[in-house]
Structure 1
Amino acid sequence: MGRENALLFIKLLHTAVWSFFVFIIFYVVYSGISGKITPFTWISIGLVVGEGLILILFKMFCPITLIARKYSDSKKENFDIFLPNWLAKYNKIIFTTIFLIGVLLVLLRFYNIL
């Protein structure tokens, strides 16, 4: 597999993983808004927390990004994923904020405060 094909595969994989996490983050928000808290809500929260721990372990870099670096010298934020550059740059801030709001809503619903 050539460098371009390897990087294309990595970008597709990274985009799929990113999409999965965006889906479960919004599922957490949906659960908090609707009050429909299911085992999948708690599993989703656990998966996102696990992802956060992995990012901390890798100094705030996704391990997929580190693999992609072997195939590209690009300085762009989105060299390893099919996202607009601005979204790739602010991805962690945007989705961490959305996730924390979702978790807060879930906890407020779970403890019947909301």
Structure 2
Amino acid sequence: MLVEVTVLGLNHGRCPLRGIAASLTDDRRPGYDIYLPGWLAARTKPIFGTLFGARIVVTLARWLIEYRTT
């Protein structure tokens, strides 16, 4: 996940393979380059970014609790 986040960050939030997908079709609706419904494809970064961030917070909290009890 960290590698993917780093790659997206270095490409200003854009998948580096999107250009290849764009060259294969004229369709530019959300999700044209992935197999997801359009409504989900348009919101993947906010949805999964929030889940990823929440998981990091939970993991850090559990590590902190474990560290304090030992």
TM-score by length of 1: 0.54
Which of 6, 15, 18 is 1:65 aligned to?
18
Distance, in Å, in 2 between the alignment partners of 1:76 and 1:51 is 23
Matched residues, number = 66
Cα drift, residue 87 of structure 1: 0.7
Indicate the structure whose relative CO is greater, using CA pairs within 8 Å and at least 6 residues apart. 1
- What's the counterpart of residue 92 of structure 1? 45
User: Partner of 2:65: helix, strand, or coil?
Assistant: coil
**Equivalent runs, 1:1-114 vs 2, <5 Å:** 48-112=1-65
Q: TM-score when scaled to structure 2? A: 0.84
Q: Is the radius of gyration larger for structure 1 or structure 2?
A: 2
Task: Please give the root-mean-square deviation of Cα atoms over the aligned residues, in Å.
Answer: 1.3
Report deviation, 1:103: 0.5
Stretches of structure 2 that go unaligned for 5 or more consecutive residues are none
Counterpart residue identity of residue 64, structure 2: Y
Structure 1: which 5+ residue stretches go unaligned?
A: 1-47
CA distance in 1, matches of 2:9, 2:60: 24
